[in-house]
Amino acid sequence: MTRFGELRTPYDVQIALRSGPTPAFHWFLDPEQLIDRSLLQQHLWEPYSTWAVEALVKSGMHVLDAGANMGYYTILLSHLVGSTGHVLAFEAMPEPAALTIAHCRLNQVENAEVRQHALGRKSADPAETFFNYSWPPTRCEQAPACVETIALDDLRLSRLDFAKVDLDGSELDFVVGAEDTLRRLRPAILLEVCDYTLRQTAGLSRDANYIYGAKTREMLEFLVVLGYGFLREQDFTRITADEVLAHDDLSKMSVNVICQVESAC
């Protein structure tokens, strides 16, 4: 496995957007990694999610990348919001956070701020923890790190237009910790939904009297209370919480869902 510190030569790779070619962004890539290999071979990671972000994010917006991983969406968001916009990116673990920062520097990004913090229900002092940040998790061969947790509400943001949220099971905790922000600012959200990661983060084993979909339903119903409805990322058609739960098998895989306030759906 190649470590971030061993990646020396950047690749020039465009992201294949629907509205036309992007500039050739610069990336430190390891072809053994899933995201990196997808960029090299297809010029994309998560095509429908990428194109949904492209459709939702406009110049001048203030946006959040919650779970930046290696910075793919951070760089894309920076490009889409332009010089008048702002990107706030969070990545909990040291290595991918450093890689996101390196990608911002490589691409001379001036409109993004990268923070190495976890996002959760409430702010907390640094504690030893570990978060996955790639799938399959070949980059996860690292020791747990002391990571400070931030509740988004504690930042008292004055503007937030869009959030990409992919936190490998901490999405419900994020939403709870962002309740006031979501009520006040009503950002559109591209949200990863995966029942097995939500269950594992809650400390529940697969056979621990757990009803499939319970944590997913709790998260989606919490968003409904906040005034959100749901859209498929593929075509922006309406979808209910029950239809999300019926998607294949969220105990083994994830889906990304667009969340918008009902008046905007």
212: pLDDT confidence band, cut at 50, 70 and 90? confident
205: pLDDT confidence band, cut at 50, 70 and 90? low
Flag whether pLDDT at 91 surpasses 50: yes
pLDDT at position 197 is: 79
Flag whether pLDDT at 133 surpasses 70: no
Flag whether pLDDT at 136 surpasses 50: no
pLDDT in tens, 13-54: 999 999 878 889 999 998 888 889 999 999 999 999 999 999
Domain ranges of the chain: 46-264
Name the DSSP class of 203: T
pLDDT at position 13 is: 95
Flag whether pLDDT at 137 surpasses 50: no
Tokens of residue 160, six digits: 């937030």
Separation between Cα atoms, residue 126 and residue 144, nearest integer Å: 12
Among the CATH numbers 3.30.450.20, 3.30.30.60, 3.40.50.150, 3.40.50.620, which is that of 46-264? Answer: 3.40.50.150
Longest dimension (CA), the chain: 51
Separation between Cα atoms, residue 260 and residue 227, nearest integer Å: 8
CB 91 within 8 A of CB 100: yes
Flag whether pLDDT at 1 surpasses 50: no
* 107 backbone dihedrals φ, ψ, rounded to 5°: -100, 10
pLDDT in tens, 214-253: 888 999 999 999 999 999 999 999 999 999 888 766 666 7
Q: Please report, for residues 104, 171, 235, the alpha-carbon distance to residue 76 in angstroms, rounded to integers and kept in the order given.
A: 11, 21, 20
Average pLDDT (165-190) is 95
Residue 59 CB contacts under 8 Å (≥ 6 apart), including other chains: 80, 81, 82, 84, 85
Name the DSSP class of 210: P
pTM: 0.91
Residue 167 CB contacts under 8 Å (≥ 6 apart), including other chains: 66, 67, 119, 131, 173, 174, 192
